[in-house]
Amino acid sequence: MLRLNFISYGQIPKADILQQFKKDQLAYAEFEKLHGHYVKTANVLMHYLTWGDPKNTPLIWSHGSLMNAYELAPVAKVLTDEGYYLIAIDYYGHGKTPIPEKEVSLYHTADDIRVLMDSLNIKKAVVGGFSRGGYIATAFYQTYPNRVSALILEDGGSVAFNYYYHRMSASELEKKVETMNLSPAIDSLYNKEYASAFAAYESLYDRQTGGSQVEIMAILKPAGNKWITYKGLMRYFGMANDKDFKNLVLRPAITSSYAASITYIAPKVIFRNLSVPVLIFDPVSNNDPMPFKEQNIELAEAHPGLITRKEYDGIEHNIHYAKPQQFASDVIAFLNKVRSKSTK
């Protein structure tokens, strides 16, 4: 998930943050002119970003929860310099893509990606994603296997979402949920409304880091005469409070289709007849919210020659944020290997 600050108090004066906000507004508008696009699907008007030459090998990326299409912006140039065409989507409720009025699921996002590929005349692509986005990538492979040349799964999509929780006793699950702080007070942070775009920007601005934080601009959304950042998303995920989360992991059928759909994706079944190369990024730490090391090793051993597993010791979840250079290097090595085999 995105590193949330809710104003990290430091020494930067508010006036300086306001000046940076104005600069980031202009930079964001210019960036969108160069890289931003939309595609109309049966579900939504979906926003996406592109980098590189459309003639090169396409890599379609789905971001993690509370993030957006700008997720891989820091490594985009490295990937495109190696001859890859990077396409990053905003799925429902993130970036410039709204939450559809009708009931949808992660599989609907897979359908949106297929429409996007058709609109760009892409027959096959490397499809990848982080966390929730990894489950979207797996759902896409399940639904449209002939449109996938390879998969990249960053701590999501390789093991059933509920595997970890279903191995717990009732008391263990109760203690785990307590540590997640999914209380009404936390939910209210996500549901705040702000009087101006700047106030919303300031709520996420990292005062310790300072400087340009143009990626925040992709999070801000107008709501009538107010501005919001993540309003409604935790409820949309079925994670607004302890009760909602326990229903999600234990009784998904009574939650919304969107919330429940992440629990319905069964990678072990989906990959039983795996036919494309897969790169699994596996962070291993005491605080990893998806501690799937043993299951990822088991999956890789079941498909020798197809699955590459990269372990990142001491990383909790977000590898591309914590180790961007190593992440990009591992992605490129994998993609170059896939590309060399496809040209033989």
CA triplet 268, 84, 30: central angle to 5 degrees? 115
DSSP codes joined into one string, 156-184:
SSSS-TTHHHHTS-HHHHHHHHHHTT--H
What pLDDT was estimated at residue 340? Answer: 81
Mean pLDDT value across residues 249-269 = 96
Of the pLDDT bands very low, low, confident and very high (cuts 50, 70, 90), residue 288 is: confident
* Secondary structure class of 187 (helix, strand, coil): helix
Mean pLDDT value across residues 7-14 = 65
Is 168 exposed, middle or buried, given 0-12, 13-18 or 19+ CB atoms closer than 10 A? middle
- The mean pLDDT value of the chain amounts to 93
Ranges of each domain in the chain: 42-161+265-342
User: pLDDT tens digits for 198-218?
Assistant: 999 999 999 988 999 999 999
Query: Tokens in use for 98?
Result: 């709204």
Higher pLDDT, 111 or 231: 111
pLDDT higher than 60, residue 4: no
42-161+265-342 CATH choice from 3.40.50.1820, 3.90.1150.10, 2.40.50.140, 3.40.30.10 = 3.40.50.1820
What pLDDT was estimated at residue 187? Answer: 62
Of the pLDDT bands very low, low, confident and very high (cuts 50, 70, 90), residue 180 is: confident
pTM: 0.94
What pLDDT was estimated at residue 182? Answer: 76
